[in-house]
Amino acid sequence: MRRPVASTDATHLIDRVWFVGIHVIMFALLMLTASQAQAATSRIKDIAQFEGVRENTLVGYGLVTGLKNTGDDIKKIAPTKESLIGMLERLGINVRTDILDTQNVAAVMVTATMPPFSRRGNRIDITVSSLGNASSLQGGTLVVTPLLGADGEVYAVAQGELQVGGFAAQGAGASIVRGVPTTGRIPSGAIVEREIDFRELDLPEMKIALRNPDFTTAQRISDAINALLGTSASMSLDPGTVLLRIPEGFAGTNVDLMTKIEQLQVEPDRPARVVIDESTGLVVIGDDVRISTVAIAQGNLTIRITETPQVSQPAPFSETGTTVVVPRTDIEVDEGQGKKLAVVSGGVSLQELVDGLNSLGVTPRDMISILQAIKSAGALQAELQVM
C-alpha cells in the first residue's frame, strides 16, 4: 500500500517542480523583455533640452603671482609689466618702472562656464592659462579677476590658488616636462555676481531642441508630449526643434510641465552610420548598419629586407689578410597567399559583419580600406563618415 502513496507524492512533487520552473522561466523572459524595452528608450532630458536653458561662457584677463622664477620675463612681455604696474598703483603703491624686474608674475587668461540658473553667490570652476613666456604656473595664486560675458558685463569674479597637473624640472644638463604646467584649474574659484534671467518660464510656448536632430525622434517626442497632455499642444517644426504650446487651463507652472516632460521615455532613432579615423585606425560601426551581398578579399604584398653584417678577419698572428665587413642580406616576401575570397551575405547584422571581417584576419586600418571599398561598390547601406 505504500508504493502507490509514494508514486502519488512523487507525481505531485514533479508537477510542483514543473509549475515553479515554468513560472521562473516566464518571469525571466518578462524581465529580459522589460530590460530590453527599457534599454531601447531614453528620457527626453537625455536627448533634448529646452531652448534657452543653456550655459554661458565667461572670460577674463588677470595676473598670477607667487611663482618661483617661472613666470613671465617682464622685460620682454610688456602687457605683464603694464598690468603689474596698474595693479600696484590701484593698491596705492608707487612703482619705479626702471628697477622693476621679477619673474614671479604671469599674465593669464581666465575662462569659465556659467551653468543655467546660477544665482548670485554661487561658485563655479575656472581654468587659467598662461599668455606670456612663463614656464610653469605651479604654486601660483590668481589675484582678483573680473569675468565678462558676451555682452561685456561682469558676471563673476575669480581668485584663488591654482591646481596644476603638469610640472617642469630643469637641471644643469637635462630637463623634464610632464603634462602642461602652464595651465591650471581652480575648483569653485569664481563667485557669481550677476544672474541671467530665464524669461521662457513665463512664455505661452516653449521650444525643445534635440541634441541629435532627427525627423523621427522629433515626431516621437511630440507624440509623447501630446499623449501626456491629452491634447495637440506639441508639434515638430524641424528635425531639431519641437514646439510646445502651454495648454489652456493647465493647473501648474511651466516648471511643473517641464519636469513632467523631461521624464517621458522616448525611443530615439538614429541613422545608420560608420565613423572611421584613418590617422588612429579607429572604426565605429552603428547597430543599424547593413550591407548587401558582397565578396571580400584582403591581401598585401610585404617585402622584408634584413641586413646582418659580419666581420671577417685573418687568423691570429697572420701576416697577410685584412679585416673586412662582409654584408649578409636576408629577403622575405609575403604575398598574402593565406588570404582567401570571402562572401558576406546581404542584410547581415553588425555582429555578423564584424565576425566576417575578423575571420579574414584584417587589422583596423585594413578594415577602414575594406569599408571604403564596400561603400564605393554601393554595398554599404549606411553613411560613411571620415573624421
Residue 187 binned pLDDT confidence (cut-offs 50, 70, 90): very high
pLDDT at site 1: 42
Rounded mean pLDDT of 269-293? 78
**Cβ-based neighbour number of residue 95 at 10 Å:** 14
Dihedral angle sign, alpha carbons of residues 38, 206, 116, 201:
negative
**Residue 193 pLDDT more than 80?**
yes
Q: At what angle do helices 254-262 and 215-229 cross, to 10 degrees?
A: 120
Average pLDDT, the chain: 78
Give Cβ neighbours of residue 305 (< 8 Å, ≥ 6 apart).
329, 330, 331, 332
Which of 23-32, 116-125, 294-303, 316-325 has the weakest average pLDDT?
23-32
**Cβ-based neighbour number of residue 384 at 10 Å:** 16
pLDDT at site 7: 46
- Spatial distance between the Cα atoms of 255 and 251, rounded to a whole number of angstroms: 12
Which of 22-26, 81-85, 198-202, 342-346 has the weakest average pLDDT?
22-26
Residue 200 binned pLDDT confidence (cut-offs 50, 70, 90): low
Residue 24 binned pLDDT confidence (cut-offs 50, 70, 90): very low
pLDDT 10s digits, 44-83: 989 998 887 888 999 999 999 999 888 898 888 888 888 8
Residue 18 binned pLDDT confidence (cut-offs 50, 70, 90): very low
Of residues 254 and 332, more confidently modeled: 254
**Cβ-based neighbour number of residue 241 at 10 Å:** 16
- Spatial distance between the Cα atoms of 215 and 207, rounded to a whole number of angstroms: 15
User: Does residue 184 contact residue 126 with C-beta atoms inside 8 Å?
Assistant: no
**Residue 5 pLDDT more than 70?**
no
**Residue 8 pLDDT more than 60?**
no
Domain boundaries, the chain: 56-192, 208-266, 274-314+324-386
Which of 236-250, 261-275, 354-368 has the weakest average pLDDT?
354-368
**Residue 263 pLDDT more than 60?**
yes
pLDDT 10s digits, 303-316: 565 667 777 777 77
Rounded mean pLDDT of 163-180? 74
pLDDT at site 123: 95
- Spatial distance between the Cα atoms of 187 and 125, rounded to a whole number of angstroms: 5
